[in-house]
C-alpha cells in the first residue's frame, strides 16, 4: 500500500510525534509546510506571502498531495480553505469558515437559528470617536465586553465597566488591531460576502453583553453533512479574573446541559453549511439562571486539548483532522486512555511586565515529569525574555508554562498540580506590578 502524503501548516516536532501515533499513521507521511516559527512565535502575519510560499513548497513536491491540514487558529485556520482550494484537497468552504471566524457575521448567522442562546451584540469602528455613543444606541450598556472582529485567543479582549475602560481599550485596539485586520482583510477579499458583512471589515470590533458561568468547549466535526460532537472540555478560570487556570476533560457539566450543547452545536453548524472539517464551540452555562450561552465558534480542533483526549480516550483528536482531510470518517476512540481525567494547566504570573531571570532547568523538568507519570511541561519563556514580548497572551497575565497532567479523579488532578507548581521555580527582575 502506498503512503499518503499529509501536509501540516506550521508542523513542529511536538505535534509530529503526536501525529505519528494516530491510528493508521503507518500508512501516512507527514510533511511540514511553512516553518513553525512563522505561525507560532510572531504576531506579524503576511498571509498573502505565506500562501504563496506554501503553494511554491507544495508545487515543488514530486509525490501526491493527499491532504493539507492545520491545528492552529489565525492565520493557519483562515488560510486552509484558500490553500486547499489551490490543490483540490478537502476542507470546508471559505464562506462557511468565515461565518464562524468573522465574529459579526457569525453572530448574525447564529441569531437566525439559536437567537435565544447568544448575547446582545453590535459592531463598532474603534477609530470612530463616537463609538461609545453608537454602542449605547444599539442597546448595550456597562458592563460589556469588546474584542476585534477577528482575534486569536483572548488577545485584545477587554471587559468595559466605564468610559475610562473603553477609552483605554480603544487606545490599545487602535495601536494593535492592524496586526490581524490587514491579513484578515486579504482573506475577506477572496470571499463572497453579503453587503452587511463586507462593510464590517477586520478593522472593526464587537461589543457584546457580558455573559458568564461555567465555561466549556464542545469539540466536534462535520463529515458529509453530519455533525458529530464527540467531547466536551471544561475551561476553569482563576478566581476573579478572565485568565484560564486549566482545561479539564471530560466535562463535569450535568448530562442534560451537555446534551443541549450538542444539540445547539449540530443546529448552528448545519445552518452555517460547514462541512468535512473539525470545529469547536465555546459555551457558558449560567447555573443560576439555568441558561446556556454560545460564546464563539472555532474552525479547528483545540490544540490545547490534544493531550487531554490522548490521556482519556487513547489518541489525540488530531485523528479527527487527519481523517476528515483524507475523506474518511474519523476513527476516534472513547475512554481507552490511561487516565480517567486530564487537564492542561496554565502556570501564570499577573504582572504588567517583567524580565525573566530564571527558568526551571531541563533536569528539574525531567525530574517532575518522572515524579508525576503522564505529565508534560512546556516552558513558554527563557532567561532574558521580556514578558511583554510573549505572543498570544490575554490582557491580564502571562502564561510561563503549560502543564498537561492525568489522574484518576478531579481532586487528585488539582492536588498533583499544586504539588508540582510549588517546585516550578521562575525568577524575575524589573517587575512592573
Same domain membership, residue 353 and residue 415: yes
CATH of the domain at 37: 3.40.50
Evaluate whether residue 338 is within a structural domain: no
Where residue 224 falls among pLDDT bands split at 50, 70, 90?
Answer: very high
Q: What pLDDT score does 250 carry?
A: 98
Q: What pLDDT score does 153 carry?
A: 63
Mean predicted confidence (pLDDT) in 406-412 = 97
Q: Looking at residue 386, what DSSP letter applies?
A: B
Mean pLDDT check: name the lowest of 37-41, 233-237, 248-252, 420-424: 37-41
Where residue 41 falls among pLDDT bands split at 50, 70, 90?
Answer: low
Identify whether the C-beta of residue 218 lies closer than 8 Å to the C-beta of residue 294. no
Q: Which of 44, 75, 93 is the last residue of a domain?
A: 93
Same domain membership, residue 126 and residue 85: no
pLDDT digits (tens, 9 = 90+) for 8-22: 999 999 899 999 999
Where residue 34 falls among pLDDT bands split at 50, 70, 90?
Answer: very high
Mean predicted confidence (pLDDT) in 60-72 = 95
Mean pLDDT of the chain: 95
More confident: 108 or 38: 108
Identify whether the C-beta of residue 92 lies closer than 8 Å to the C-beta of residue 104. no
pLDDT digits (tens, 9 = 90+) for 255-298: 999 999 999 999 999 999 999 999 999 999 999 999 999 999 99
Q: What pLDDT score does 150 carry?
A: 93
Evaluate whether residue 295 is within a structural domain: no
CATH of the domain at 154: 3.30.1490.20
Evaluate whether residue 186 is within a structural domain: yes
Mean predicted confidence (pLDDT) in 44-54 = 91
Same domain membership, residue 65 and residue 19: yes
Say how many CA atoms lie within 13 Å of 275 toward its Cβ: 10
CATH of the domain at 416: 3.90.1170
Number of domains in the chain: 3
Q: Which of 183, 209, 235 is the last residue of a domain?
A: 209
Mean predicted confidence (pLDDT) in 77-105 = 97
Evaluate whether residue 279 is within a structural domain: no
Where residue 223 falls among pLDDT bands split at 50, 70, 90?
Answer: very high
Same domain membership, residue 432 and residue 352: yes
pLDDT digits (tens, 9 = 90+) for 146-184: 999 998 666 788 999 999 999 999 999 999 999 889 999
pLDDT digits (tens, 9 = 90+) for 322-376: 999 999 999 999 999 999 999 999 999 998 899 999 999 999 999 999 999 999 9
Within the chain, how many helices (H) and strands (E) appear?
A: 15, 17
Where residue 213 falls among pLDDT bands split at 50, 70, 90?
Answer: very high
More confident: 421 or 242: 421
% of the chain with per-residue pLDDT over 70? 98
Where residue 43 falls among pLDDT bands split at 50, 70, 90?
Answer: confident
Name which of 19, 51, 15, 14 is nearest 33 in CA terms. 51
Same domain membership, residue 202 and residue 139: yes
Type and span of the H or E element at 108: helix 103-114
* Domain encompassing residue 124: 120-209
Q: Which of 166, 184, 209 is the last residue of a domain?
A: 209
Residue 215 confidence (pLDDT) above 90: yes
Evaluate whether residue 33 is within a structural domain: yes
Evaluate whether residue 134 is within a structural domain: yes
Where residue 1 falls among pLDDT bands split at 50, 70, 90?
Answer: low
Q: How far is CA 191 from CA 45, 90, 97, 197, 238, in A?
A: 19, 18, 10, 11, 39
Identify whether the C-beta of residue 187 lies closer than 8 Å to the C-beta of residue 82. yes
Amino acid at each position: 500500500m502506498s503512503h499518503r502524503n499529509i501536509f501540516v501548516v506550521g508542523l513542529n516536532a511536538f505535534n509530529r510525534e503526536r501525529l505519528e501515533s494516530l491510528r493508521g499513521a503507518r500508512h501516512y507521511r507527514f510533511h511540514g509546510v511553512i516553518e513553525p516559527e512563522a505561525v507560532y512565535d510572531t504576531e506579524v502575519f503576511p498571509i498573502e506571502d505565506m500562501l504563496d510560499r506554501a503553494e511554491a513548497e507544495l508545487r515543488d513536491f514530486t509525490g501526491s498531495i493527499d491532504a493539507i491540514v492545520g491545528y492552529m487558529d489565525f492565520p493557519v485556520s483562515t488560510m486552509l480553505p484558500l490553500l486547499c482550494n489551490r490543490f483540490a484537497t478537502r476542507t470546508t468552504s471559505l464562506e462557511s469558515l468565515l461565518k464562524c471566524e468573522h465574529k459579526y457575521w457569525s453572530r448574525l448567522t447564529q441569531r437566525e437559528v439559536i437567537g435565544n442562546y447568544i448575547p446582545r451584540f453590535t459592531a463598532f469602528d474603534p477609530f470612530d470617536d463616537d463609538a461609545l455613543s453608537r454602542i449605547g444606541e444599539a442597546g448595550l450598556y456597562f458592563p460589556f465586553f469588546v474584542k476585534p472582529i477577528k482575534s486569536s485567543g483572548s488577545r485584545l479582549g477587554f471587559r468595559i465597566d466605564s468610559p475610562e475602560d473603553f477609552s483605554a481599550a480603544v487606545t490599545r485596539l487602535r495601536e494593535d488591531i492592524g496586526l490581524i485586520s490587514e491579513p484578515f482583510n486579504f482573506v475577506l477579499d477572496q470571499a463572497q460576502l453579503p453587503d452587511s458583512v463586507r462593510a464590517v471589515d477586520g478593522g472593526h470590533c464587537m461589543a457584546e453583553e457580558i455573559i458568564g458561568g461555567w465555561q466549556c468547549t464542545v469539540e466536534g466535526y462535520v463529515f458529509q453533512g453530519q455533525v458529530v460532537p464527540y467531547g466536551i472540555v471544561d475551561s476553569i478560570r482563576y478566581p476573579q479574573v478572565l485568565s484560564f487556570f486549566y482545561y479539564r476533560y471530560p466535562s463535569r457539566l450535568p448530562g442534560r446541559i451537555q446534551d443541549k450543547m450538542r444539540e445547539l452545536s449540530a443546529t448552528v453548524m448545519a445552518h452555517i453549511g460547514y462541512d468535512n472539517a473539525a470545529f469547536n464551540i465555546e459555551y457558558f452555562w449560567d447555573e443560576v439562571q439555568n441558561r446556556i450561552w454560545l460564546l464563539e465558534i472555532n474552525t479547528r480542533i483545540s490544540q490545547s486539548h490534544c493531550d487531554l483526549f490522548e490521556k482519556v480516550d487513547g489518541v489525540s483528536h488530531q485523528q479527527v483532522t487527519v481523517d476528515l482531510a483524507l475523506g474518511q470518517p474519523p476513527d476516534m476512540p472513547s475512554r481507552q486512555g490511561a487516565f480517567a481525567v486530564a487537564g492542561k494547566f496554565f502556570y501564570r504570573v499577573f504582572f504588567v511586565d517583567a524580565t525573566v531571570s530564571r527558568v526551571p532547568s531541563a533536569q528539574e523538568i525531567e525530574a517532575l515529569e518522572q515524579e508525576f507519570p503522564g505529565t508534560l511541561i512546556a516552558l513558554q519563556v527563557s532567561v532574558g525574555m521580556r514578558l511583554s514580548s510573549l505572543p498570544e497572551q490575554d490582557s491580564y497575565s502571562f502564561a510561563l508554562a503549560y502543564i498537561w497532567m492525568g489522574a484518576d479523579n478531579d481532586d487528585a488532578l488539582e492536588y498533583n498540580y499544586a504539588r508540582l507548581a510549588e517546585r516550578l521555580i521562575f525568577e524575575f527582575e524589573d517587575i512592573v506590578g
